[in-house]
Amino acid sequence: MSTLNLPSAFFLLLRRDLVLAYRRRGELANPLLFFVLVTSLFPLGIGSDPNLIRAVGPGVIWVAALLAALLSLDGMFRSDFEDGSLEQFMLSAHPVSILVLAKVIAHWLVTGLPLILVSPVLAVLLSLPSEAVGVLLATQLLGTPFLSLIGAVGVALTVGLRKGGVILSLLVLPLYIPVLIFAADAVQTAAVGIPATAQLSFLAALLAGALALAPLATAASLRVSLS
């Protein structure tokens, strides 16, 4: 990979991860199925009151999306660590943070994007008004990349540990809480006809900060884990 220029190395790694993900598409369906099942079964547990379902719907969708993203995080670097590819990335002549960003984008494309695509159907199931559906999609377009970026830092710190899933959850779940709060509040605000510009701006700021800092933090964490 060191003989390639940086853009070529970036897109080659992105393509590699997407191809590998396609070969394991049975495993990749698990987070999406979890997301759909949790969201669709929740109304059965709280009753058939449409007002109640509409009130809790944004929070249900976002909690399910957060947990579904968490289920898929461990595989971001695990297979590369087990087959030795991760050490090759660390020895590359290219910035590790850029290579990490390629893997994060691949993770989002195969996990975060499918969640976004099925969310409008689930929003209708939860009786969300049409005004809130657009805001829901906007929050997920801003929030799900943040989940992948921050999750990559946690995965990098725990990649060398056996059964590091519990530790990973403890590391990243507190950092996910701001996204959960502001995203759910944005959808609830839009549902009552109030603009959700403030919440969306905060989510955009979180995403911009994560894009700037998370790849660097992930690269540093990988060096620590592999040292």
Q: What is the pLDDT along the chain (227 residues), one digit of tens a residue?
A: 446 788 888 898 899 888 888 887 777 788 889 999 988 888 788 777 778 888 888 889 999 999 998 888 877 887 788 777 788 878 878 888 998 999 999 999 999 999 999 999 999 888 888 889 999 999 999 999 999 999 999 998 888 777 667 788 888 999 999 999 999 999 999 988 889 999 999 999 999 999 999 999 999 988 888 87
112: number of Cβ within 10 Å: 25
61 class by beta-carbon count within 10 Å (0-12 exposed, 13-18 middle, 19+ buried): buried
Gap between the Cα atoms of 202 and 204, Å rounded = 5
Alpha helices in 108-164 (DSSP H): 113-125, 130-158
Gap between the Cα atoms of 124 and 172, Å rounded = 30
